[in-house]
Each structure stands twice: as C-alpha cells, then as structure tokens.
Amino acid sequence: MERRDFFKKAIVVAGSAAVGSSTIEASETVHPIDNRKVSDIAFPEKRPLITYSDRPPLLESPREVFTSALTPNDLFFVRWHMPMIPKYINPNTFSISINGLVEEEIHISLKALKTEFKQVELTAVLQCGGNNRTAFKPTAGGIQWGIGAMGCAKWKGVRLKDVLKKAGLKKEAAWIGFNGEDKAVYSETANFVRELKLEHLNDDIILAYEMNGEDLPYLNGYPLRLIIPGVYSDSWIKMISNITATKEKQQLHFMEKAYRIPDNECECETPENLVKKTKPIEEMNVNSIIGYPVTGTKVKNDSSLVVRGVAFDGGHGIKKVQISINGGQLWEDALLDDGSEGKYAYRAFTYTFKPKSSGKQTIMCKATNKKGEEQPFAKDIKWNHGGYKYNGIDEVTVEVV
C-alpha cells in the first residue's frame, strides 16, 4: 500500500467508543477499564487494535503489547484530534515551512532533512495525557481510554534546533508554534496548534521521519512529526508542516483551554468545585504496567509464572519496579533490563514466582524513579476534570488451576 495515498485504500471501521456516563456523585479514582475487545478489522499498516473511532482514527493498544522495550509499529496506538486528514501526501514534494520571526522564511523538503542535516536517533515513550481516563469517576471529558494509549519507539530525524538555526531566529523570538496537516470540518474550529517556549528547546527535541527503523506509519504522522521526549503526546504534532516563531505566546484553544490541570499541589479538584487556575500537562509521571499475564489468564498451581511489563517516567530514569502478590502488603523487586534504550524509553521488567493455591491471584506492579517518586494506589489519585496524568499501581487477576 502506498502511504501517500492512504485513505483511498483504507477500510472504514465502525467505532466502538465508550464515552460512558456515571451516576457516582462524589469523585473517586478506580482502576481503568481493561476488558475492551480488540476490533475484528485492522486499519492499514496496523494489526487489529481496540477501536474507538475511524474519523478521526482513535486506536488503543491491548495490554499484551507491553512486554518489551519497543512497541511494534503495527501495534502502536493512534490519536488524532481533527477528522480531515490528507488523502494524499507526496514525499517528493512535501516540505516544512519555517516562518515568523526568522531571518529568512524557508521551506525544507523531506529529502533535504535527510541529507543536509545531522541525523539523530533516540528512543522515547509516546503517551496520551488522558491514558487510563476511565479510572476517573465521575467520567472525565475526553476519549475514554483504557490502559493502552501509549507506546515506545526508536525515532530518527533531525534536531529541531538545527532546522531553526538554518532559518535564523530573530533575537525577539520567544515562542515556537507547530501545526500539522489535519484540519477540522468546520472553519470555526481552532486548528490543533501547540507551542514551545524557546528556552525549553534542547538537543533531544527532533523532527522525526522514521519510527523503529521504518518510515513513520501514516496513522502515526507520516511523513514527519515532532518528538518532545519526556512529556505527554499532546505536543508531538503529527504530519507537521509549519513552524512559526513569535515574540508573544499566542492565544490558542489547545494551549489555553485544553490539556490543562489544576495548578495546585495535588493537581486536583472536584466536579462541584472546579479550579480556575490551571497549568499545562507536561512531564510524564512515573508509571508501569503488566503486559503478561492479562486478567483472566489461567495458570497452573505451583508452576513458574513469569510476569512481564514495562516502566517509564519523564526522563529521570527508573530506579526499580516491585511486584506484590498479596494486595500490596509485601513488595519484591522485579528484574529490570539494562536500560540501554535511554532515559526516555521503557524499562522492561520480569518477575518469576510460583502460585501456591488455586483460585484468583492478583498481581500488582509499582515503579519508582531515580527522584524517589513512586506510583500511588489508584484510590489515592485525586480527580481532575480532564482525566489527565493517571499513574495508579497496575494490577491483573489470574486464575490459578
């Protein structure tokens, strides 16, 4: 299939979004929904995933994916905001525009990016800020994700700062805005534009055209996307085509209204008393998830069971992952991989034990990073209206036979 003519050949998949509602009056946080069915139909370049919508495409990875440091491209989750995605992209004519407060407005082709700039590669986790949103009760606004709106890939491209240097930023430039090729149906709808404060620019922020050694999948932003490791994916603009330097921060819906949390110590509020002062969601919380076994797996009594999963944070590094098989009363260290994929990547872990009695057996995992931050129990996470930044201790329940 030609990636540049994607939607002419795409199968239209009926969505199974679970927006949901709640009759719970007091706010609370529980474990997110973890039993949704994988679709019978696959989108192009993807294996069957949990499908919420086909326009825009919204696909979640199933739990079984999270057992290794890298997520395969065809099992990687998909999140678009705008329903109108180009049907045709020609890589031979595609270019990205750099404009605004620059010495020279320039257009850089895909070929030029690959041949005229230093090529860099880094591994980083991409996670939606609303991952696990179904944990929040009453229902928080947004896509009702389970546990799989995340993935980890090896991204290859060029440093953003090198591209900006070629255009020549003017001294008064302070903000960099990013826009992609997806559009809203109605002209009144704001474009999905995100901004980065220039002082936050670093060597790890790149414009990527490859993912795990292949061209970006169409649904993951082909032919070019922004990579800002360590932060939630709302700023990782897909199909990026325009970069604008400005002096002042622009008044943008997706900066001033969306992807924001209460600006207080607990980053929390209640449905009856929403906080007025907010801040953007940025650095990812420490987190971990069990990929195997999944809830409902049958295992034999007194046989070795190898628990597998992944842990990550916003780039400080994972110090340890611990497993509990008695409801969190006792925790034992899991075995971590060597961390060779880097500080922004998953750390895969394993833990082996022998179930000693028949019946239900709950397995829990908890990660701690090098700053000393550790995952809380789900019940200890406070509610926010956007359902953002959930990182509760994960658990699965197997049947010992």
Residue-wise DSSP of 153-191: EEEEEEEHHHHHHHH-B-TT--EEEEEES-B-SSTTSPP
Residue 107, beta-bridge partner list: 97
Handedness of CA 138, 144, 148, 154 (dihedral sign): negative
pLDDT band at 16 (very low <50, low <70, confident <90, very high): very low
The length of the chain, given as a count of residues: 401
Is the pLDDT at 123 greater than 70? The verdict is yes
The whole-number pLDDT of residue 230 equals: 98
Asked if residue 173 lies in contact with residue 60, where contact means CB atoms within 8 angstroms, the answer is: no
Q: Is 311 helix (H, G, I), strand (E, B) or coil?
A: strand
The whole-number pLDDT of residue 5 equals: 54
Q: What percent of the chain has pLDDT over 70?
A: 93
- Say which range, 136-150, 183-197, 219-233, 341-355, has the weakest mean pLDDT: 183-197
Strands (E), 28-142: 28-29, 50-54, 57-60, 78-79, 95-100, 106-109, 119-127, 136-137
Which strands make up the sheet holding 175-180, listed edge to edge?
106-109, 95-100, 240-246, 175-180, 194-197
Kindly state the tokens that stand for 65: 């994916």
The whole-number pLDDT of residue 193 equals: 83
Per-residue model confidence as pLDDT tens digits over 215-263: 999 999 999 999 999 999 999 999 999 999 999 988 777 777 789 999 9
Q: CA 7 to CA 338: how far, in whole Å?
A: 40
Per-residue model confidence as pLDDT tens digits over 80-100: 988 889 988 999 999 999 999
- Say which range, 66-80, 174-188, 341-355, has the weakest mean pLDDT: 174-188
The whole-number pLDDT of residue 184 equals: 79
Average pLDDT over residues 195-212: 97
Q: Which amino acid is at 258?
A: A
The whole-number pLDDT of residue 14 equals: 37
Q: CA 328 to CA 358: how far, in whole Å?
A: 20
Is the pLDDT at 122 greater than 50? The verdict is yes
Per-residue model confidence as pLDDT tens digits over 301-332: 999 999 999 999 999 999 999 999 999 999 99
